[in-house]
Amino acid sequence: MNIAAPIGQAANPVVSVGVVVSVRGAVVDVRFVDKLLPPINTALVVEWDRTEPLVLEVHSHVDPVTVRGIALQATGGLARGTQVQATMAPISVPVGEGVLGRLLDVVGTIRDRGPALPSDTPRRGIHNSPPALEDETSATEVFETGIKVIDLLAPLAQGGKAAMFGGAGVGKTVLVMELIHAMVEKYKGISVFAGVGERSREGHELLTDMQGSGVLARTVLVYGQMNEPPGARWRVPLTALTIAEYFRDQKHQNVLLLMDNVFRFVQAGSELSSLLGRLPSRVGYQPTLATEVALLQERIASVAGAAVTAIQAVYVPADDFTDPAVTAISSHMDSIIMLSRTLAASGFYPAIDPLASSSVLLDPLVVGEEHYRIAERAREALARFKDLQDIIALLGVEELGASDRLIVKRARRLQRFLSQPFVVTEAFTGTPGRSVSRADTLAGCKAILDGAADEWAESSLYMIGNLDEARQKEAAAIKKEPSS
């Protein structure tokens, strides 16, 4: 069969042929009578009677004649005795200019119903080593997002890794989509989006949204969705990363890598681990959790002349931030953005917890002395306000001392100022999205902390852009008030 060629191209033309001996969901055992076993992490192509090829990836050698493979497509209808062709090479996916503006699956097949890729499109194996440590560059340049609370308290690094942690329904996907809008227009680089285990509806909406906004031409979409087998969800981040690495290494272009959702990658590994019969680790996760996360995250690296900036959404099961998967992922991040269900329920969007979020870039040597000082003052005010909330709920704000009342007044205004409307929610809220420069964010926070907005209504600072907009809103509200 020639369908093996686009998936795994072997340098050695000799291939081995085997037969399926057992199928357990996504785990398939294949026996090779000629005893020429394919290496680990190489592709096998099942020669069955379906129109879509079934690709397996060799996971382990069971005995001298049998390998255990992970299926990357559904195995429904696969029978024992079906022939399997070993390619002796890893799964390879199309890379380069030809995939820009296209939607691919885990094995590089075009899924947007568009024309086929040119025959000369380069291909690259999905298993690659990270750059040598001496070739990597450190991330010290701030990646401005236009989102006030991120730029102030958890600045992202150009060429760094950032993760957004949150439970179900607190706004992770909306935040990722807003960052795509803000960054693709501002930074004229390449964007690679990996949809890992998310809903098919969200994938369709993102594709339609990108087509409408005109940013799809510089973006590659790679999907392994919730309705696909765990093998696809487990390997799709590697496919997206392979495309990003090509633009970094061969084209020397900056790449923005977005993943939604990395927890589904871990979850798929856990499902496969159970099917493979491994003993579970903490909380039922796979015993290889830390290794699998590290193999993915260590490949996200920048080299001289080309940066890969990664922004990843991470689902937090049951809002438990001590979950082993969450802690394993967070240990690799430069910036950690925590989303709060309490803030979301109170109507503060983006629902980013300013006290739990952090960044290695929030250092006076990186962001500057003024930014660091304003961020620390903001954090202090919000922390004190949080400490006083129980007293306020029991006794009322009038029972506080004068200094604490002033802190509460300013913290409440600062909390509202750090909210802002998004472009991607404009269709639902009717409010145009706002992007705020870091200078305007710092100026607004400093003015609020210095008392410039003490006499303003709190509503004037809610869901706005910069402080000038709040000033206009306050003036309009005063004008509407009936004269006494």
Per-10-residue mean pLDDT of the chain, 484 residues long, equals 44 71 95 89 93 93 95 94 94 95 94 91 95 86 92 92 92 85 72 90 81 79 93 96 95 91 95 93 94 96 90 93 95 95 92 95 94 97 94 89 94 95 85 93 96 93 94 89 61
pLDDT score recorded for residue 473: 92
pLDDT score recorded for residue 11: 39
Q: Residue-wise over 20-50: b if at least 16 C-beta within 10 A, else e?
A: beebebbbbbbbbeeeebbeebbbbbbebee
The helix or strand, by DSSP H or E, that contains position 58, with its residue range, turns out to be strand 54-63
CA-to-CA distance for 411 and 392, rounded, in angstroms? Answer: 14
Q: Which of 386, 309, 311, 389 is nearest to 353 (CA)?
A: 386
Residue from 172, 299, 410, 416 carrying the catalytic annotation: 172
CA-to-CA distance for 387 and 65, rounded, in angstroms? Answer: 65
pLDDT score recorded for residue 52: 85
Residue from 199, 201, 373, 386 carrying the catalytic annotation: 199
Q: 161-166 and 308-315 as β-strands: parallel, antiparallel, unpaired?
A: parallel
Integer angstrom CA distances of residue 284 from 26, 228, 269, 328: 19, 22, 11, 14
For residue 161, indicate whether it is catalytic: no
136-144: long-range pairs with CB below 8 Å, 24+: 136/301, 136/302, 136/303, 137/302, 137/303, 137/304, 137/307, 139/302, 139/307, 139/334, 139/361, 140/361, 140/366, 142/361, 142/366, 142/367, 142/438, 143/183, 143/187, 143/309, 144/186, 144/437, 144/438
pTM attached to this predicted model? 0.90
Q: Strand runs (DSSP E) across 174-320, as ranges?
A: 190-196, 219-224, 255-260, 308-315
pLDDT score recorded for residue 8: 47
Cis peptide before 280 (omega within 30 of 0): no
CA-to-CA distance for 385 and 323, rounded, in angstroms? Answer: 28
CA-to-CA distance for 115 and 443, rounded, in angstroms? Answer: 50
Say if residues 337 and 168 touch (Cβ distance below 8 Å): no
- Euclidean distance between the first and the last CA atom of the chain, given in angstroms as a whole number: 88
Residue from 178, 198, 228, 245 carrying the catalytic annotation: 198
* In the block, residue with structure tokens 């001590």: 322
Cβ atoms within 10 A of the Cβ of 350, count? Answer: 25
For residue 172, indicate whether it is catalytic: yes
Alpha-carbon Rg for the chain in angstroms = 25
For residue 198, indicate whether it is catalytic: yes
pLDDT score recorded for residue 200: 82
* In the block, residue with structure tokens 């995250």: 297
